[in-house]
Amino acid sequence: MLNKNIYLILTISLVFAISFWIGFNVNLLPTEASINAPIYDELFKILFIIGLIIFIGMTIAVIYSLFRFRKRNDQIGDGIALEGNLSLEIVWTIIPSIIVLLIGLYSYNIYDRMGGMKELNHNHEMMSSNSEKIWAGISQTSDNEIAINNLSIEVSAMQFAFLFNYPKGNFISGELHVPVDQKVSMKMESKDVIHAFWVPEFRIKQDIIPGQPTILNFTPTKVGKYPIICAELCGPYHGGMRASIIVEEESDYNEWFNKNKKPEVNL
């Protein structure tokens, strides 16, 4: 019996050790290209490790049972009838409840750190002219930070494209350009159905809803070109609804911005 317990403890320790090793050494996610990415990846790592512990543990239990409890030659008829095991049922209810509760609290904390719990209807620069209700979004920017740069962008989503309006430059672009290491604030509206703005490398995703503007703020941290993908099934060409975000050095961004800038038309 003692021997058996030692094997059990050893196996469980091994499952934990392997799961933690894989969790910390195998990266399944794309590059981390925004300040949200490392925060999000913390949560993913924890979920991945929990998943690995369950997956490896279950696989070992199934394979062990297949051999250990297989039908022997001298065994005929049915096995013994088992019915109920109160302590086992309590254990397998309490452990998952605790895990789910902790994941819930931790997710809340992660979402809060990403700016998901911030007040949305502050005097956002683009909205100061009308007191329009902002319905949802991820905010991590205060008004002052937005006012000092040109990075208030208006996103229009439609079947099946994204358009980016730069109000300060008075132009519209099909490609989203932003400078690295600066906060970007986007107000997003849909012209038809529900779409979603998703940049996997930034670990951000926000629905774009007709008639209900949403905002999305982010700070890119790595120069490069990343895909913008519509993440809400929005029609037959939903799969082709993609755009690109180009994160560039500030000087390159300014050059691009000034090249596209149109003079203000005073009527």
Instruction: Enumerate binding residues for Cu ion (CB under 5 A).
Output: 195, 230, 234, 241
Q: Tell me the three state secondary structure of residue 95.
A: helix
- CB-nearer residue toward Cu ion: 43 or 199: 199
Question: 63 to each of 54, 69, 78, how far by Cα in Å?
Answer: 14, 10, 21
At residue 21, φ and ψ (nearest 5 deg) are -60, -50
Residues paired with 206 in a beta bridge: 197
> What's the maximum distance between 2 C-alpha atoms anywhere in the chain?
98
Q: Would you say 217 and 153 are in contact if contact means Cβ atoms under 8 Å apart?
A: no
- CB-nearer residue toward Cu ion: 122 or 242: 242
Question: How far is CA 32 from its chain centroid?
Answer: 12
Q: Would you say 184 and 235 are in contact if contact means Cβ atoms under 8 Å apart?
A: no
Least Å from the CB of residue 174 to Cu ion: 15
Least Å from the CB of residue 146 to Cu ion: 26
- CB-nearer residue toward Cu ion: 44 or 160: 160
Q: Distance (Å, rounded) from C-alpha 166 to C-alpha 182?
A: 16
Least Å from the CB of residue 88 to Cu ion: 47
- CB-nearer residue toward Cu ion: 15 or 234: 234
Least Å from the CB of residue 158 to Cu ion: 8
- CB-nearer residue toward Cu ion: 24 or 237: 237
Least Å from the CB of residue 225 to Cu ion: 20
